[in-house]
Amino acid sequence: GGVIAVNGLADAPGESAAAEGGSFGFARATASAAMTGDNASLSGALGWQRATGIDSFTGHGDKDGYRNLSGRFRGSVTVTPGVELGASALLLTERSEFDGFDPVSFAHTDTLDSSRNRLAAGRAWLKLGNETASWSGQVSASLLGSSNRNDLAGLQQNRTAGSRRNIDAQLEHRFSTGLVAHTVIAAADLEREAFHAHDTIYGGLSDQDRTRDHRALTLEWRGETKALVGDVAVRRDLFNRFKDATSLRASVLASLGGGFAVTGAYAEGIAQPTFFDLYGFFPNNFLGNPSLKPESSRGFEASLRYRRGVIDASLTAYRQRLFDEIVNDATFTSVLNAPGNSRRSGIEATIDWRLGDKLRVSANYAYLQATRPDSVSGRRLTETRRPKHSGSIMLDGASGRFTYGASLAFVGTHLDNRDTYPFARVALGSYWLADARVAYALRPGVEVFVRGANLLNQRYEDVFGYRTEPRAAYVGIRLADRRSSP
């Protein structure tokens, strides 16, 4: 699942601006400002971005570009000690071009498809108390609205719109018994969603106007001693269109001394199908399935960690089972719940080494086994778009007026499906991606920078049939006037 957070972050006081341009007609500009006082803060920002892009189909057709404009705002005021009122908002409008499907043959081809999207979201909150008080709480309300219009050669094909309204409340109580510090949290959420879809090329046959409600109650306990930290949480989800569900989460972290610690966790979860999964429509290649059930999962995780001096490392093993996974049907024109369960297990290793401000080196590696039952034969299939091996190494640092960084990432071979007949499975090759950046401070508050992407000029696909950008270079400037709070 995905979450859009609209609580916002408080910026450092002052103003800043940046501009950047480079390969494939890319250009970007941003500006932000923030001010703070003893009892109030106010911040906002604007961002603009565009690119002419590349032809993602064959490399020789029309280029598929995009452009977007975004803005954000956040303000808060402390009415009395321990009482805060706040509000935040974000706006986004964008247009993307892409290669779709021929309306006659249904073959993936170099088309003049485009999509226009708009999103607006806002949140207001009231906070009582703080993280050190015995009792604290928060009440908030948010509203998100979005719309999407799909065109082909400038002619509207269909449009969708959606909204989400949330009201949530949380109450926390902190107390101690002996050497154990306790935190008890109770939370309630109320959500209402609406979805609207309208087509113009099929006479409205795919039109949809749907709503659904979701409520949730959560009770959590956290306990902490000098060497041991644990928590247990129980959540009850109540749906008006699906079966209600109860889920559990529990975790523990134990310090072994000498910089070593071990952790373990168990978690259950549930996710509703999206409105587009249920009722969506896209000309010639997708129709939703209103019979879908929510996905649910349960998983275990264990980790050994080391943190001491300049070294921070961890080794984690996990196993997860996903039930009723939502997957493409045999014709890739709709979705269904896979029978049985999907299985994911793997190992992740990370290490971080710091040598003052001059250099920090980080590396990670992931091994993943992900399978699901075939919806027709029932035999287990390797999940698509999930490489078995992946990893990266990164370095960054600063010296004098220079700041710098570089990364090298590896993605192993993985599978995908053809999105047209015969819908066979295909293997996508492994690749390495190298990026680098360097910046120089001309004077305090003025910095110029240059960066490069895909420096090895790898030709690769993450999704079958869709090309990615070759080697690219960008240059820009940053201006900042940051001041400390009064």
More confident residue, 87 or 2: 87
Distances (CA, A) of 146 to 160, 193, 194: 8, 11, 10
Structure tokens belonging to residue 350 = 């990370």
Residue type, 80: T
Q: Residue 425's closest CA among 287, 332, 345?
A: 332
**Could you tell me the end-to-end alpha-carbon distance of the chain, in angstroms, rounded to an integer?**
41
**Token pair of 214 as six digits:** 């979701």
Q: Is the pLDDT of residue 10 over 70?
A: no
Higher pLDDT, 249 or 338: 249
- pLDDT confidence tier of residue 130, bands split at 50, 70 and 90: confident
CA-angle at 388, arms to 386 and 390, nearest 5°? 90
**What is the percent of the chain with per-residue pLDDT over 70, rounded to a whole number?**
96
Residue 366 to residue 64: CA distance in whole angstroms = 33
The yes-or-no verdict on residue 419 having pLDDT over 80 is: no
pLDDT at residue 422, as a whole number: 76
pLDDT digits (tens, 9 = 90+) for 264-321: 999 999 999 998 899 887 766 788 899 999 999 999 999 999 999 999 999 999 999 9
Provide mean pLDDT across the span 62-79: 95
**pLDDT per position as a tens digit, 27-53:** 999 999 999 988 999 999 999 999 999
Cα gap 277→47, rounded to integer Å: 31
State the DSSP string of 337-350: EPSSEEEEEEEEEE
pLDDT in the model for residue 2: 41
Residue-level pLDDT at 433? 98
Instruction: Annotate 5-26 with b (16+ C-beta within 10 A) or e (fewer).
Output: ebebebbebbbbbbebebbeeb
Question: Cβ of 143: how many Cβ atoms within 10 Å?
Answer: 15
Structure confidence at residue 3 as a pLDDT band (50, 70, 90): very low
Residue 90, pLDDT > 60, answer yes
Q: For residue 4, what pLDDT is reported?
A: 47
Average pLDDT over residues 163-184: 96
pLDDT in tens, 195-228: 998 888 777 777 889 999 999 999 999 999 999 9
* Residue that has been written with the tokens 């719940």 in this structure: 337
